[in-house]
Amino acid sequence: MRRAFRLRGLLWLAAAAVLLAVASGAFGQSAEAGGGTGLPSIQIGLETADSPGEVASSLQILALLTVLSLAPALLVMTTAFTRIVIVFSFLRTALGTPSIPPNQVVIGLSLFLTFYVMGPTFEQLNTSALQPYMNKEISLDEAKGRGWVTIRDFMLRQTYKKDLALFADMSGARFESVDDVEWKHLVPAFILSELKTAFIMGFYIFVPFLVIDLVVASTLMSMGMMMLPPAIVSLPAKVLVFVLADGWSVLVQAVVGGFR
């Protein structure tokens, strides 16, 4: 039987090779005959520009591609994503299920909650900067200025003044008004503030689950069941309490409501 299967497999391979050879030969003959079925040619080169506008357009396209390559970092560093994903990671650790929900689910939920939180900011960015630029009503520099003002207002609302003052003092900068705040000071201050807020929320998440762990451990000790790991008993208890308290809805409401 095995020899028969091997022989049949070899016959299928041979037939496939013959068909591939025939198809390649037919394709090559039709291409040589000028039938129009040949592969398209791709040419990349540098040519002399007819006007300065062509050079400016090329530079704008290059700048846009550069921004798109930095899009993941911009999404993480200038939006609500950092706080949300850290809070969900704290929840998994507090529950004692470091791999449930999976990373794909946590990141996906954090991403869509980020879009929900950033919705008003993105709409304002689209209305004030992107659409006027696409309609050629404003220049690229003005569009970038309007976009920065919109993102800056969101980050300033979430940033602690102490963190912003920290980076300003380290660089020797002085801010007379909000318009003087530069991105090199605001972005790291915003990230630091988001980390602080996420860790504070993580502490509040840990407290009720820590109480459950202590109760289970003391109960097992009083019953003389010292050989039974407390995590085996406390894990289903924590999951049950979390589900009965509608934990996911409460946590999402707390995270989303924490953004000003």
Cα–Cα distances in angstroms (integers) from residue 172 to residues 73, 156, 185, in the given order? 27, 19, 11
| 10-residue mean pLDDT series, the chain (260 residues) | 46 45 42 46 51 57 68 78 89 84 87 87 84 79 81 85 82 72 82 90 88 81 73 80 86 85
User: Which H helix or E strand runs over 175?
Assistant: none
Three-class secondary structure of residue 96 per DSSP: coil
Count of structural domains, the chain: 1
Establish if 238 belongs to a structural domain.
yes
Tokens of 144: 């970038």
pLDDT at 199: 92
Residue 20 belongs to some domain of the structure: no
Q: Is residue 3 part of a domain?
A: no
Q: Is position 226 within any domain? A: yes
Minimal CA–CA distance to 186: which of 204, 203, 173? Answer: 173
- Containing domain of residue 106, as a range? 59-95+102-257
Phi first, then psi, for residue 59 (nearest 5°) are -65, -35
Structure tokens at 191: 């990230």
CA distance 133 to 113: 28
Distance CA 204, CA 199 (A): 9
Q: Is residue 69 part of a domain?
A: yes
Return the SS3 of 46: coil
Question: Two tokens at 206?
Answer: 């840990």
pTM of the model: 0.68
Per the domain annotation, does 18 fall within a domain?
Answer: no
Rounded Cα distance, 187 and 184, in Å: 6
